[in-house]
Chain A
Amino acid sequence: MDDMAALAKTSATEPAADRMLTLDDIEALAKGSWILGTGGGGDPYHNLLNMRRLYKDGYQVKLIDPMSLADDANVAVLSKMGAPLVGQERLPDPAMAVKSVRMMEDYVGRKFDAVMALEIGGGNGVHPMQVGALAGYPVVDADTMGRAYPEAQMTSVAVAELQCYPLTMADVRENEVVIPKAASWRWMERISRKVCTEMGSIAATCKAPRTGAEVKQHSIHYTVTKAISLGRTILEAKAKHSDPIEAVLRAGEGKLLFTGKITDVARRATEGFLRGKAEIEGLDGDAGKDMVVHFQNEFSVAYVGDEPVAMTPDLICVLDSVTGEGIGTDVIRFGQRVSVLALPAPSVFLTPAGINNVGPRAFGFDLDFKSVF
């Protein structure tokens, strides 16, 4: 009784938006993150498996409202960096994620008050949950991309020109790297990418720590909740046997771009990325047309014939036409029947500074950004 009373008292003093996530929430988060990952960020399945094991062992995650953070709170921004293909073979380990956080605490000499995701898309949307569970940090309901992107300067905090250093990187071997300073976000990207490639194109990273004030002003808010709700919509559509693609379009306020079958996939792991393109032969209403979707970890630009029909920062999602599941750039393959969707970009990326960092030219396409929406 005493314990129960104490528990009730504690929760009464906390902001209403803070809540303990259930395993069902995490399951829905994994589904929703995979859609928002636009083919990259890695399939959240392995992170989800880690979370199932942690929940089974009694660990839990508390999700907190970004607006409840004290201005001087110290927040860790976490991700697993690398090529998604590598993540299929070198499986994520919560202990590695925690290691990157401890390295930063040791380097800066200050404990973190909370952790958050660098990107809500793909496995990285679930990645900080492992740290939240295993090491007991609250997880902030926010991220810095609202989706997944391959490079360090492609974040809301980089667009706002916040400080890009220091950064810590943990490897499964006894390799630990701290980058104390970099001249810019792009330099941070280049230097950390080289280290990541040497580590096997996979590393657990803790990015430049953020203050509570910075998170409140410059992160993208409530994306964990958004991903959970997107995931729930898909799970509910499946349970009711209704069209999951339609459900994603509705929940994500998206547009259907193309329906077809994968006829060719060319991909290569280079410089710590997975790059390539997928060719899709149109079916149904798109019969007779062909789409090519380019990717650098994530899908970046989609063409029908010579016409670019969708481009970053709009989200380009390739989903299994039957199940509505996201299909990653690392597992997309010949013969799959897919629906290609666009979802709206976070508004921070639609500014000139945003387009400069994440628009089509940032991915090597000489195109002026034109939104699907």
Chain B
Amino acid sequence: MKRIGIDVGGTNTDAVLMDGEKVVAAVKTFTTEDVTGGVRTALKEVVAKAGDAATDVSAVMIGTTHYVNAVVQRRHVGRAAAIRVSLPASASLPPFCDWPEDLAGLVNGGVHLVHGGHEYDGRPVVPMDEAEIARTARQIRKDGITSVAISATFSPLTDECERRAEEILLNEHPDARVTLSSRLGRIGLLERENVALMNASLIDLADTITRSFVDAVAESGLDARLYITQNDGTVAAAEEARLFPVYSFASGPTNSMRGAALLAGIEDAMVCDVGGTTADVGCLINGFPREANNVVEVGGVRTLFRMPDLLSIGLGGGSIVASDPLTVGPRSVGHRLATEALVFGGTTTTCTDIAVAAGLLDLGDRSKVAGLDKRFIDAALARIHAMVGEAVDRMKSDATEVPLLAVGGGAVLIPDKVPGISEVVHVEHEAVANAVGAAIAQISGETDRIYRDMSREDAIEMARTEAVESAVRSGADPASIRVIEVEDLPLSYLPGIAIRTRVRVVGEAA
């Protein structure tokens, strides 16, 4: 089975065409301001490079760091209004209360607390005030805000208040686009609301980006289905993914780590992925990224996502290097590397220029960096190596020496010797490990429903069976399926025994 995997990063757009687990062709191109251009070029080049092998491509799987970069770099995020149905409770900690001020300043399109919400046992806290919501909706329309996140107390148990608030809102403000917190998170009002707000702030960007992906695939002439890769290493159909950009937040690092494991044939290792703007360090266990245990912050905002446990540092091929005093990053020229780096005729010294000057990399016009002082080059390299070493050390969870897989376009910046590391492993196609990871993304199956009048064990077993069936229907190999999430919430407000059970499984494409 043939698939094309594409990774759209802040600097590079990479593509691979894979036949099963074999890389047939790989290309690396620059990300363009409009995104479409870069994806179109990458698709065209990888198909051309594969030649006759580029037939029967059944799927194009795209992973993108666009959404998470938007939040982290505070660019292209839209305004979103928050409606929280919780009063008279939770008034002292309103929406955005634990956001970094700069991001809240960009996103906060109005905070509206209204009366309503539920207790843990399904009783209303107070009756929902529908007139108050209608007034709020008119205010949001008057404010010119079109993206709205709605949260309500205990909405994962019953989403009645959120759905009713959405109805009232759309009635008063038909142009509004709504993200319901109950669709995105579990118990934990503040974190679930944070995720809903981030999703709402990215909804317009997600439209633009998804449309550009769809256009690029259509123009390529390939008769292939388009999927977007998700945080957990699985894929979602483009139309569904468009509504939930936050589910793609960590897909870039997940893809690169899974790609690295496949390319190296090593399942337990540290991974350092040096991109254009950042280097991500993570830990592979049995071929999968180690997950963060608890609360995960994205751009300084608390969430309850299941995400790879990553340490991102501001070090990449596009990181700006200054000489007096010596600094490396965190600012990066990003996708303008192609014009601003010295080796490409620009005037900004970047890590790429340092690597070319040190003879680690052959890129652009080498003569353009001939004038750099050798001591400056050595000092900059030493700084870069120290940054990598420190990041790897922080992410290691035990003392034994393990291999370090060096991947990403800036993998040459990783030193050969790193403390606590048995060997630094470079592999063929290491620069496009993320695209490889996208191409081998897994297929998931999920069940989330209420089971009645059976024991908890039976409910979980039944949910597991249903989730496996759903994954197999979507094309997963039954032998490879494993459970990644089990969650159950007893619903004491329903008569008899009722348990809301959610099971998520993933497997390799059959």
Q: A46-B93, A95-B92 are in contact. Are A89 and B293 (CB under 8 A)?
A: no
Q: How far is the CA of A83 from the CA of B97 in the complex (A)?
A: 24
Determine the chain B residues whose CB is within 8 A of the CB of A88 once the complex forms: 187-189
A123 to chain B minimum Cβ distance, whole angstroms, is: 13
Stretch of B43-51, B119-127, B133-141, B247-255 with 4 or more beta carbons under 8 angstroms from chain A: B119-127
Question: Interface residue tally of chain A, by bracket?
Answer: 35 or more
Q: How far is the CA of A270 from the CA of B88 in the complex (A)?
A: 24
Q: Which of B93, B119, B309, B490 contacts A268 (CB 8 A)?
A: B490
The 19 listed contacts between A and B (C-beta, < 8 Å) are A46-B93, A50-B93, A53-B92, A85-B187, A89-B120, A89-B189, A90-B189, A91-B89, A92-B92, A93-B90, A95-B91, A173-B88, A200-B120, A201-B120, A264-B486, A268-B490, A269-B492, A334-B485, A334-B486
A325 and B294 contacting across the interface, CB-CB below 8 Å? yes
Whether a CB of chain B sits under 8 angstroms from the CB of A163 is no
A333 and B492 contacting across the interface, CB-CB below 8 Å? no
Whether a CB of chain A sits under 8 angstroms from the CB of B130 is no
Q: Which 8 residue pairs spanning A and B have beta carbons closest together?
A: A91-B90, A93-B92, A200-B119, A172-B88, A90-B89, A172-B89, A320-B293, A268-B490
B394 and A241 contacting across the interface, CB-CB below 8 Å? yes
Q: Which of A46, A86, A336 contacts B190 (CB 8 A)?
A: A46
Interface residues of B in 476-495 (CB under 8 A from A): 484-488, 490, 492
Whether a CB of chain A sits under 8 angstroms from the CB of B367 is no
Whether a CB of chain A sits under 8 angstroms from the CB of B423 is no
Determine the chain B residues whose CB is within 8 A of the CB of A95 once the complex forms: 91-92
Determine the chain A residues whose CB is within 8 A of the CB of B121 once the complex forms: 200-201, 269
**Which A residue sits closest to B119, measured CB to CB?**
A200
A331 and B294 contacting across the interface, CB-CB below 8 Å? yes
Determine the chain A residues whose CB is within 8 A of the CB of B490 once the complex forms: 268-269
Whether a CB of chain A sits under 8 angstroms from the CB of B108 is no
Whether a CB of chain B sits under 8 angstroms from the CB of A367 is no
Q: How far is the CA of A201 from the CA of B93 in the complex (A)?
A: 19
Q: How far is the CA of A292 from the CA of B426 in the complex (A)?
A: 42
Q: A53-B97, A241-B394, A334-B486 are in contact. Are A323 and B293 (CB under 8 A)?
A: yes
Question: Interface residue tally of chain B, by bracket?
Answer: 35 or more
For A226-260 the 0/1 string (1 means CB < 8 A from B) is 00000000000000010000000000000000000
B309 and A173 contacting across the interface, CB-CB below 8 Å? no
For B185-219 the 0/1 string (1 means CB < 8 A from A) is 00111100000000000000000000000000000
Determine the chain A residues whose CB is within 8 A of the CB of B188 once the complex forms: 88-89, 331
- List 5 additional contacts besides A269-B492, A322-B293; criterion CB under 8 Å: A46-B93, A93-B89, A173-B126, A321-B293, A322-B397
| Residue of B119, B397, B398 most packed against chain A (CB within 10 A) | B119
A89 and B153 contacting across the interface, CB-CB below 8 Å? yes
For B262-295 the 0/1 string (1 means CB < 8 A from A) is 0000000000000000000000000000010110
Q: How far is the CA of A36 from the CA of B57 in the complex (A)?
A: 57
B293 and A85 contacting across the interface, CB-CB below 8 Å? no
Q: How far is the CA of A49 from the CA of B486 in the complex (A)?
A: 30
A268 and B492 contacting across the interface, CB-CB below 8 Å? yes
Whether a CB of chain B sits under 8 angstroms from the CB of A335 is yes
Whether a CB of chain B sits under 8 angstroms from the CB of A162 is no
Determine the chain A residues whose CB is within 8 A of the CB of B291 once the complex forms: 335
B93 and A200 contacting across the interface, CB-CB below 8 Å? no
B120 and A269 contacting across the interface, CB-CB below 8 Å? yes
Whether a CB of chain A sits under 8 angstroms from the CB of B393 is yes
For B37-62 the 0/1 string (1 means CB < 8 A from A) is 00000000000000000000000000
**Which B residue sits closest to A269, measured CB to CB?**
B120
Q: How far is the CA of A93 from the CA of B306 in the complex (A)?
A: 29
Q: How far is the CA of A268 from the CA of B187 in the complex (A)?
A: 13
Q: How far is the CA of A140 from the CA of B353 in the complex (A)?
A: 61
Q: How far is the CA of A49 from the CA of B309 in the complex (A)?
A: 25
Whether a CB of chain B sits under 8 angstroms from the CB of A266 is yes
Determine the chain B residues whose CB is within 8 A of the CB of A338 once the complex forms: 293
Determine the chain B residues whose CB is within 8 A of the CB of A93 once the complex forms: 89-93
Q: How far is the CA of A270 from the CA of B121 in the complex (A)?
A: 10
Whether a CB of chain B sits under 8 angstroms from the CB of A327 is yes
Determine the chain A residues whose CB is within 8 A of the CB of B90 once the complex forms: 90-91, 93
Whether a CB of chain B sits under 8 angstroms from the CB of A337 is yes
**Which B residue sits closest to A201, measured CB to CB?**
B120
A241 and B393 contacting across the interface, CB-CB below 8 Å? yes
Q: How far is the CA of A91 from the CA of B222 in the complex (A)?
A: 52
A91 and B126 contacting across the interface, CB-CB below 8 Å? no
Interface residues of B in 420-456 (CB under 8 A from A): 456
For B317-355 the 0/1 string (1 means CB < 8 A from A) is 000000000000000000000000000000000000000
Q: How far is the CA of A130 from the CA of B143 in the complex (A)?
A: 35
A103 to chain B minimum Cβ distance, whole angstroms, is: 17
Q: How far is the CA of A183 from the CA of B89 in the complex (A)?
A: 32
Determine the chain B residues whose CB is within 8 A of the CB of A92 once the complex forms: 92-93
Determine the chain A residues whose CB is within 8 A of the CB of B117 once the complex forms: 89
Interface residues of A in 63-109 (CB under 8 A from B): 83, 85-86, 88-95
Interface residues of B in 144-162 (CB under 8 A from A): 153-154
For A314-329 the 0/1 string (1 means CB < 8 A from B) is 0000001111010100
Interface residues of A in 52-67 (CB under 8 A from B): 53
Q: How far is the CA of A295 from the CA of B295 in the complex (A)?
A: 22
Whether a CB of chain A sits under 8 angstroms from the CB of B98 is yes
Interface residues of A in 158-183 (CB under 8 A from B): 172-173
For A328-350 the 0/1 string (1 means CB < 8 A from B) is 00110111111000000000000
| Residue of B120, B393, B488 most packed against chain A (CB within 10 A) | B120
Q: How far is the CA of A34 from the CA of B486 in the complex (A)?
A: 25
**Which B residue sits closest to A94, measured CB to CB?**
B92
Determine the chain A residues whose CB is within 8 A of the CB of B88 once the complex forms: 172-173
Interface residues of B in 77-129 (CB under 8 A from A): 86, 88-93, 97-98, 117, 119-121, 123, 125-126
| Residue of A172, A173, A266, A330 most packed against chain B (CB within 10 A) | A172
A58 to chain B minimum Cβ distance, whole angstroms, is: 16
Determine the chain B residues whose CB is within 8 A of the CB of A320 once the complex forms: 293-294
